[in-house]
Structure 1
């Protein structure tokens, strides 16, 4: 089993977690995108997509690069790296993107945010996969004695983004969806995750 193989039932039974819906960012501050980001996304959409990888490269990566610049590159972004924490429990496999405030680039350290690309454009399945990755991220943090108590994640098709928060034994799924066509709100939500995560550790 790997992250993409889990169901909600599997996560509840195996890891004793619960799920509920709520508003994660009730006082979100929109952030205006730079001209560079708007142009990069325009070019990416003009090229079109024939795979999840192309969506990642042309839609998701530019947004994350913008977020990194907004925060003076204060966090690392890992792309396409394995997060093999507990193979026996199925907590293994590749993660599309992981954020960490660690400056180590060679291997994943102290993750605080995971992004799962929705395979076959299925945002719900992507959300479940992301939840499994967050469980693994917490275990890795515990193994490294890193006191990060709240982890965030996101499932995205590149066009549509859905956030979740993992705290205690509960996942809170954001009732609000964010869209690439509403870039200021999407950047504001991503910045809210960075701001909330900075105070931990």
Structure 2
């Protein structure tokens, strides 16, 4: 069993004794972040192409990866970016396999280092169908971080590249955001994706 074998939210919640909250807009108060001219140009060029090809791989390469790499730029390479990487934490529990995208609060780029902050799962059309897999990956990240006593909320997203659905895991509670976000509102998307790193680096610097 691996991450992709989790097909329903009920299944992953039963396996890991999680509770779900779908009642909140998680990021209403998050400020937008200025979009670089480079990312604006990339998305303007790539969105029509990604729509025309209409495959998960094309949307990952043309839309999702450039958006996530912008987060790395915003934080001056203090954010690690991993694409299609193995993330094996506990095979007996199904916490193993490949993750589409992982963002860490670490400069390391050759290996995944703690803390893992955000996991992004790409889906061609069915966002709902990717939620259970994303939650399983978030649980794995939580356990990975806890091995070195790093306790922080884990963020996740399931996206078609055009539409983004965000999640947050803290303890055994998983919030699934009421609101979906769209690539055309890139500044808001970047604000949401930046938020957990802003919080982590602020706390780290205060200590």
- 2:185 corresponding residue in structure 1: 182
In the comparison of the two structures, how many residue pairs are matched? 199
- Find the partner of 2:39 among 30, 37, 40: 37
CA drift of 1:31 comes to 1.9
The correspondence for 1:125, drawn from 83, 108, 129, is 129
Looking at structure 2, the residues matched to 55 and 79 of structure 1 have their Cα atoms a distance apart, in angstroms, of 13
Mapped to 1, the partners of 2:34 and 2:145 lie a distance apart of 33
CA distance in 2 between partners of 1:166 and 1:129 (Å)? 13
Moved more, 34-43 or 154-163: 34-43
What SS is found at the alignment partner of 2:161? coil
- Could you tell me which runs of 5 or more consecutive residues in structure 1 were left unpaired when the two chains were aligned: none
Report the 3-state secondary structure (helix = DSSP H, G, I; strand = E; otherwise coil) of the residue aligned with 2:88. coil
Is the partner of 2:34 in helix, strand or coil?
coil
Query: TM-score, normalising length from structure 2?
Result: 0.90
The alignment status of 1:114 with 2:116, answered yes or no, reads no
Aligned residues: CA RMSD: 1.6
In structure 2, which of residues 46, 49, 57 is the aligned counterpart of residue 47 of structure 1? 49
Structure 1 residue runs of 4+, over 6 Å off?
none
Asked if the contact 2:9–2:131 (Cα under 8 Å) also holds between the matched residues in 1, the reply is no
User: Could you say what secondary structure the match of 1:121 adopts?
Assistant: coil
- In 1, the alpha carbon distance for the partners of 2:193 and 2:117 equals 12
TM (norm. structure 1) is: 0.92
Query: 1:197 aligned to 2:197?
Result: no
Q: Which residue of 2 aligns with 1:142?
A: 146
Aligned counterparts of 2:179 and 2:54: Cα–Cα separation in 1: 28
Q: Is 1:10 aligned with 2:2?
A: no
